[in-house]
Structure 1
């Protein structure tokens, strides 16, 4: 792995809230949730050949269903994201962040090449138009930025996690600048989104985090066995094209100052 790659200090041992012991009677429910998530993902894989003809509204509902199938309630606040070419950016905590961003607005994801190897989800990402970035090849970065800018010019939404790595949610990384160059080149707005997770009583939690040497299965199990988990998505004010002179200032403007959403006001969705 290249030394220039962004990394987070978060580890499962130090940062992730450990769930209470799972009672035997709760195991069937957790298994049912995992099965439901898998079936929804398989449905998505089956429908990818006709995805271009599927309206955005059903895609957003399907993404919310994936999160709900895992036993997580969804609360989205803020105004709807703009139409047309748009760069969606958010802090990155969990694998849940991907369907949550798509619930804001369906978009082509910018993901690391390793995602291709994920079971089921990797196939769904590849067939769904994901733009992959090889983080071990610095020289390939300009070509990736050019491909993102091309998609934006064509009127597509592209979603990215500019931190370059997942963080636990109690802390966050700095937004890297490269992807913002694509928005500048294409002349499209940037839509910042803030993602956070709480328990039903309002206490922030890091249980859904997928960090460090954590495994996807371990993170999945924490999510499906958690009780009262809520995903909060706050759609911040879009940054119009031309409002930032360079990618550094644009990244700084888009960086969420907090990793958990404030009090639930102007809620546009509760699922």
Structure 2
């Protein structure tokens, strides 16, 4: 954790605590409204609507302000850089996306429950026996026209650089399902180093820092052209091509800010 972030975590102002006290009840109210409606929609066989409403609402409550660039391809697998837990809020609003997540999240009952409502596909990266089952789940989600997001870095970075993309995370998509699209996405936060969840910062501390923030959280969500041709040959070519597009755009954005 950087010294600047550590200082922010250690000292939350009175206004910050007032914002936390205001935002937490609003988030709880959203949960209490959306959960019953979600289960009602499921009983009626309707689409996954209320998880997106909840996540979009939480983003609005904490001050997330999104600007979309490029055209989203419905039903694509999105490969995005990973900066914060707020990435989930941003892509839920901008792309109505579900997610491919590490099965470690499933150990936390409340988080697992929230993730499952949004049709998260949990993957066990180190259990080879589960690969075929996970592939079926991912393919089924894509076959039904759903949008899935995978974060190939496997962890969060500070938003100014990209970590290596792990092609192994795309193992369940090799070969790519017929007709499936793979679309790179850049999540570009205006104040990335100040809001990123990196290093040894506990998740709860990061959550409190974000809720205590008065300044809006501005993010540009860049949708690039889907991969095509030889870029789709295998998981290594897909991750290399996606990372190249995202990195070029990220470097260009950082130069423009400097």
1:44 to partner: Cα distance: 4.0
Cα distance between partner residues in 1 of 2:87 and 2:174: 21
Task: Give the secondary structure class of the aligned counterpart of 2:145.
Answer: coil
Is 1:186–2:174 an aligned residue pair? Answer: no
1:225 to partner: Cα distance: 1.6
Contact 1:111–1:133 (8 Å) recurs in 2: yes
Contact 2:38–2:48 (8 Å) recurs in 1: no
Contact 1:67–1:99 (8 Å) recurs in 2: yes
Contact 2:52–2:92 (8 Å) recurs in 1: yes
Where do residues 39-118 of structure 1 align in structure 2 (5 Å cutoff)?
Answer: 39-49=29-39, 50=41, 53-54=46-47, 62-79=54-71, 81-83=72-74, 85-118=75-108
Contact 1:17–1:207 (8 Å) recurs in 2: no
Equivalent residue, structure 1, for 2:20: 30
Contact 1:108–1:128 (8 Å) recurs in 2: yes
Contact 2:34–2:51 (8 Å) recurs in 1: no
Q: Which residue of the other structure, out of 142, 148, 155, is the alignment partner of 2:145? A: 155
Cα distance between partner residues in 2 of 1:183 and 1:107: 21
Return closer, same or farther for 1:209/1:142 CA change in 2, 3 Å cut-off: farther
Contact 1:33–1:71 (8 Å) recurs in 2: no
Cα distance between partner residues in 2 of 1:90 and 1:194: 6
Gap regions ≥5 residues in structure 2: none
TM-score (norm: length of structure 1): 0.76
Is 1:209–2:200 an aligned residue pair? Answer: no
RMSD of the TM alignment (CA)? Answer: 3.0
Contact 2:230–2:237 (8 Å) recurs in 1: no
Equivalent residue, structure 2, for 1:249: 237
Cα distance between partner residues in 1 of 2:222 and 2:194: 19
1:246 to partner: Cα distance: 1.9
Contact 1:59–1:103 (8 Å) recurs in 2: no
Cα distance between partner residues in 2 of 1:38 and 1:242: 47
Cα distance between partner residues in 2 of 1:42 and 1:115: 22
Equivalent residue, structure 2, for 1:5: none
Task: Give the secondary structure class of the aligned counterpart of 1:186.
Answer: coil
TM-score (norm: length of structure 2): 0.79
Cα distance between partner residues in 1 of 2:111 and 2:28: 9
Q: Deviations over 1:125-177 (max 9, x none)?
A: 12332111123424433432342123223322221111111122233212222
Cα distance between partner residues in 1 of 2:64 and 2:210: 8
